[in-house]
Amino acid sequence: MNALFGFGALALAILLDASGALAQNLAASAPSVNYPPTERVDQFDDYHGTRVADPYRWLEDSNSPKTRAWVEAQNKVTFAYLEGLPYRKPLKERLTKIWNYEKYGIPNREGGRFFFTRNSGLQNQSVLYTAAKLGETPRVLLDPNALSKDGTVALTGIDITDDGRYLAYGTAASGSDWQQWRVREVATGRDLPDVIRWVKFSEASWSKDGKGFFYSRYDEPNAAGQFKDVNYFQKLYFHRLGTPQDQDVLVYERKDQKEWGFGGEVSEDGRYLVINVSQGTDPKNRIFYKDLQNNSDRVMELLPGADAAYTFIGNDGPRFWFVTDKEAPRGRLVLIDTTRPLQLQEVVAQTDATLQSADIVGERLFLRYLKDARSQVKVFDLKGKFLSEVAFPGLGTVTGFSGKRTDSETFYAFTSFTTPTTIYRYDLPTAKSTVLFQPQVDFDPGEYTTEQVFFHSKDATRVPMFITYKKGTPRNARHPTYLYGYGGFNVSLTPTFSPANLLWLEMGGLYAVANLRGGGEYGEDWHQAGTKLNKQNVFDDFIAAAEYLIAHKYTASEKLAIGGGSNGGLLVGAAMTQRPELFAAALPAVGVMDMLRFTKFTIGWAWVSDYGSAEEREQFQALYAYSPLHNLKAGRRYPATLVTTAQSDDRVVPAHSYKFTAALQAAQAGEGPVLIRIETKAGHGAGKPTAKLIEEAADRWAFLVANLRMQLKF
């Protein structure tokens, strides 16, 4: 889930000490900043006849002593600034109190046992538990917090054998995408000797007999380039329990296709290995399969054309169900008989809502849709006859509804901007939901409201946006507002609870989420409308969202901040360079800022399906026109900016943020500070310890309080 941030009461009363000292108004003035010098070099590149300067190229070498010294100097300035903000400490204290509530994951049942995660409140990582029955005292099966002293080793994935005997689990250190997989005996909690290394972008899938599992990996990288070098030639393997990794069986590779990635999934009946063949982040994929009852090594190419997106749902013998956008940009459910000439038999047709996923549980089909970025779940029989729609408590996001063909129950989670993730049990015979776990958080959700509005972008496209705020907030254009967006890679932004966002609401802030083109809210057409040569549509949508908030007197430019991470960091960088006067503050996190060189590092090449490539003349022109790094202009007044990144980010390498910060510090003519906050033991965001999440969120809000000139009571 995305960790977004938010607040609502115009004044937040927090006791500064246990003696009951009187609250006092803290001034929102910010400390002055003296930036450390950043060397410029004479580096130029030729792109199709256009000479492009890259004076901070040396910052791409994250291992060099010079870059490390720059990181240390920038962090020194940034943390001196943040520590000088008088409200930073009480914000962190209040956020810690809000964050301290029990959190449960959705239960999964294997071999007659339940498996689920739980976090007691402030644990850095959630703990995996198991129990014979729900409601009885569970037993700790795996505690990631015991794997490191600072909580920076995270659980990245699990798979359990059908008989519930073995757990395969992946871990990652310091936020890296690199994973190690191990095997734990469920009954004893003891790890077997098996260790699988150099796994990235892969889950594990056990064979039906529980004697081994399928996984994908890359070749061992050069030590010096482990977090920087490009990742090509992923391979699919089978690991047999009790054997060393160098004896794992190579199931499939393509020496002629360096960009292909493979994900192997064993069908519920154990007969087939279904292989998802992807190429970067392009949603169009291929589907191959292998008959595991056949001793042949032959892999069958079922859907080899990469003409659409296909997601395997389940099978009846040789008949496979898929969710696909083939001839249905908003998705439909089809059946393919692998024994006959390829033909897609429609089971559930496309509707006006976007089909996100489907599961087969208890001989029923559970289809999860998005209707204007809000969750709907509909139930069908296996022939596609509509049975019922699952009722939810309001506008929100739903996940779950997985299980087996023989199950009579399934579980799901519901959340919204003001509803912490609540776990439900769904009884199939009665089609009724009951609350299994409802967290208790230190706030009153009845004090807040979320509305959905629709605005028109530059080209008149109608775009939705959620706005959350404290009930009774007047429209007077004075409210600090945090506008968040993403707009890419078919990712949908839906209502999600965040303790950090709640704090922003308590502070009197408005929290707005715009559902921009490039996302998946309205299917593949909506996604494609924000990619490659159409990418400017995403920025136009975001700018139009800001203009709507101002025109309708939710806020004003001097009270408006924007934020986003990863592709959303690019969004913030592009918006603030195209319309710097529109925003008072910007929070770009782990952003893709150099749109001409992103393909040079780790998995960056995989984003060409969304961004295009500077190697193509027309695409270069589009990229160069919005690339945040290349569109900063000396002498302009840019918003106050807090860039956040991490040294171990091997998804969007930190050089993007380093170079952008150096260039922005040099260009800034306004009074707003330009700072970069660099985590030294973190990555792109996944698995970040709770303590670091709280610290970073408190720093972001403290930065906004100062630069939006908010007056808070503490």
Q: pLDDT value at position 32?
A: 75
User: Quick one: tokens of 686?
Assistant: 């996944």
Spell out the residues 6+ positions from residue 460 whose beta carbon is closer than 8 angstroms to its own. none
Spell out the residues 6+ positions from residue 563 whose beta carbon is closer than 8 angstroms to its own. 5, 482, 483, 484, 572, 586, 587, 588, 589, 700
Q: pLDDT value at position 505?
A: 97
Please tell me the distance from the alpha carbon of residue 539 to that of residue 570, in angstroms, as a whole number: 10
Q: pLDDT value at position 27?
A: 38
User: Quick one: tokens of 518?
Assistant: 């490039």
Instruction: Give the pTM.
Output: 0.93
Q: pLDDT value at position 295?
A: 83
Angle value at C-alpha 447, between 445 and 451, nearest 5 degrees = 85
Q: pLDDT value at position 341?
A: 79
Please tell me the distance from the alpha carbon of residue 363 to that of residue 469, in angstroms, as a whole number: 42
Q: pLDDT value at position 6?
A: 29
Q: Which residues of the chain have pLDDT under 70?
A: 1-31, 713-714
The catalytic site residues sit at 566, 684
Q: pLDDT value at position 30?
A: 54
Helix axes 617-626, 567-578, angle to 10 degrees: 70
Cβ atoms of 360 and 401 closer than 8 Å:
no
Cβ atoms of 604 and 591 closer than 8 Å:
no
